[in-house]
Amino acid sequence: MVFSLFSWWYGKGWAGVLTSTRRRLSILAEMFSLKILLSTLFSPWRRIITYPGAGLDARLRAFGDNLVSRCIGFTVRFFVLLAAAVAFVFTTVVGLLELVVWPLVPLAAAVFIVKGLL
């Protein structure tokens, strides 16, 4: 059983860390609607728009209104994308750390036990 544990630890278990990190990143992308937010980054917020009237004045006013709506939309999406980026970086770093630390755990355990006894 000990052999089984170690062979899993340095085989499927270690590979699983990579799979697990990839899965977490994919969940994050889905949760933060990454594709949708990027493709609609400059779209008006909730389609709150003014349809342009006939005159120049009306057109300018509609342009201004819609620009505000787009700005609001961009701001909200930008900050969500920023939060997503932070989450991505954090998850990736944790995943990489796991990947590095994982094979060292048995060695570290052995080293610590021996060091404590000496």
Partner 1 sequence: METLDLQNGRARRARLGRAIGPAGYGLLLLLAALGVLGGATLAAIHHSYGYSILGIGLLLTMPAVWWRYELRDVPVRTGTLADRLSNDVLVLLQPHQTYTPQKLWEALQPNWQAIFFANHLLLPGEHISDLFSDDSSQMPAVLQEAIRIADSQESPSVEVGHLIAALLHTSPDITLLLSQVKLSQTDVDAVSGWLARGLAGMRQKPASFGGIGRDWASGFTPRLNQFGHNLSAAIEHQGAHFGALVDGPGVTGMKTAFSQGAGAIALIGPDGIGKTSHAYALAQNVLAEAQDPVLAHRQIVALDATAIMAAAQRPGDLEYILTSLLNEAIHAGNIMLFFDDAQLFFQTGPGSINATQILLPAVQSRAVPMVFAMSPHDYEQLRATTMAFAGLLTPVVLKEQPEAETLEVLADTANHFEIRHKLVVTYEAVKAAYRLSGRYESDMAYPGKAIRLLEQSLAHANQKVVTAASVEAAIEQTRGVKAGTAAPVEADQLLHLEDSIHQRMINQTHAVEVVANALRRARAGVANPNRPIGSFLFLGPTGVGKTELAKAIAATYFGNEDGMIRLDMSEYQQQTDVARILSDGKEEAKSLLMQVRQQPFSVVLLDEIEKAHPNILNLLLQLLDEGQLTDSQGRRVSFKDCVVIATSNAGADSIRAHIEKGEELEQFEAAFTDELINNGQFKPELLNRFDEIVLFRPLKPEELAQVVRLMLGGINQTLAAQNISVELTDAAIAKIVATGNDPRLGARPMRHTLQKAVENTVAGKILRGEAHPGDHITLDEPDLSL
Residues in contact with partner 1 by CB under 8 A are 1, 4-5, 8-9, 12-13, 16, 30-37, 40, 43-48, 73, 76-77, 80, 105-106, 108-117
Residue among 56 and 114 whose Cβ is closer to partner 1: 114
User: Shortest gap between Cβ of 13 and partner 1 (angstroms)?
Assistant: 7
CB neighbour class for 77 (10 Å; exposed up to 12, middle 13-18, buried from 19): buried
User: Shortest gap between Cβ of 92 and partner 1 (angstroms)?
Assistant: 19
Tokens 């057109």 found at: 59
| DSSP collapsed to 3 states, 76-97 | HHHHHHHHHHHHHHHHHHHHHH
- How many CB atoms are closer than 10 A to CB 35? 10
User: Shortest gap between Cβ of 10 and partner 1 (angstroms)?
Assistant: 11
Residue among 4 and 56 whose Cβ is closer to partner 1: 4
Residue among 75 and 90 whose Cβ is closer to partner 1: 75
Q: Are 102 and 17 in contact (CB under 8 A)?
A: yes
